[in-house]
Amino acid sequence: MKTKLSQTILIFTVLFSYATALMSNTAQAQTQIIAHRGYWKTENSAQNSITGLQKAAEAKVYGSEFDVQLTGDGVIVVNHDDKVNGITIAEVLYSKLNGIKLKNGEKIPTLEEYLEEGKKLKDIQLILEIKPHKTKELEKEISEKAVRMVKAAGMEKQVEYISFSRYICENLARLTPNSEIAYLMGDVSPKELKEKGINGIDYHYKVLKKKPEWVKEAHELGMKVNVWTVNNTEDIKNMLRLKVDYITTDHPVEAAKLAGNKN
């Protein structure tokens, strides 16, 4: 009798875990959208601006991506290129950048200012791309400073990290092991990254078109898959078919519609 009861319990336990696993798989199935450099292809916005972040939040997409660089005096600023108006950011004091305006008239935000605004926008993830720097020392410095700032703001769950520098990703994995960290270059298998504590890939869509098996490999390892920068409808559809977790795009509103996201 006892054996029958324990058998029944075992069967129910197995069935229950199976159903839960199925449900969580379904929950993960819908691809989410990330606005590349914020939502900038809209009125009064600009790439890597505070407005771009606000507009992405208004569009109710999953995340807003942005790039950061270190100035000569160690301030982290939000900008894609290492130069602005012919000035190399790493070689000048932050004060030299203060008067420079973005296309929408805003100043170049610091990471601190960007996080401050992001904290008010609770429903959007901030996808922080740390740009490769000239030396390992600088890459270590910017990684440490960025993580410290995110932790001080209490935003560890709202900020995810990406980088083309494997050294930066490995540093991040050590500094903030519970964060989402994805490598961008596209030249390493998910398994190899996972061994270094990097828990995501964020590859160019052409890389995943050639190696669709990396999506499966990453998912089996419990890693997230993001793709950049997918702007064409057919390419977006292809990536949706591959069941990537995130699509990074300059057309977040259109992509969210294609993905069937409610917004």
Q: Which residues bind Mg ion (CB under 5 A)?
A: 67, 129
The Cα 129–Cα 49 span in angstroms is 14
Min dist CB 249 to Mg ion, Å, is: 12
Residue 154 makes CB contacts below 8 A (sequence gap 6+) with: 119
Shortest CB 190 distance to Mg ion, Å: 20
Residue 20 CB, nearest distance to Mg ion (Å)?
36
- Interatomic CA distance for residues 205 and 184, integer angstroms: 11
How is residue 108 written in tokens?
């170049």
Q: Minimal CB distance to Mg ion: which residue?
A: 129
Asked if 263 and 61 touch (Cβ cutoff 8 Å), the reply is yes
Query: Of 7 and 169, which has the nearer Cβ to Mg ion?
Result: 169
Residues in CB range of 101: below 8 A, 6 or more apart: 107
H or E element that contains 163: strand 159-163
Residue placing its CB nearer to Mg ion in the complex, 67 or 160: 67
CB of 162 to Mg ion, least distance (A): 7
Name which of 81 and 195 has its Cβ closer to Mg ion: 81
CB of 129 to Mg ion, least distance (A): 4
CB 217 to Mg ion: min, Å = 24
**13 CB contacts (<8 Å, ≥6 apart)?**
none
Q: Which residues, other chains included, contact 25 with Cβ-Cβ below 8 Å and sequence gap of 6+?
A: none
Q: Which is nearer to Mg ion, 35 or 215 (CB)?
A: 35
For the purposes of burial, counting CB atoms within 10 Å of the CB of 43, is it exposed (0-12), middle (13-18) or buried (19 or more)?
Answer: exposed
The structure tokens 């057309």 sit at 251
Pick between residue 67 and residue 245 the one whose CB is nearest to Mg ion: 67
CA pair distance 237, 34, nearest whole angstrom: 15
Which residue, 64 or 176, has its beta carbon nearer to Mg ion? Answer: 64
129 or 139: CB nearest Mg ion: 129
CB of 160 to Mg ion, least distance (A): 12
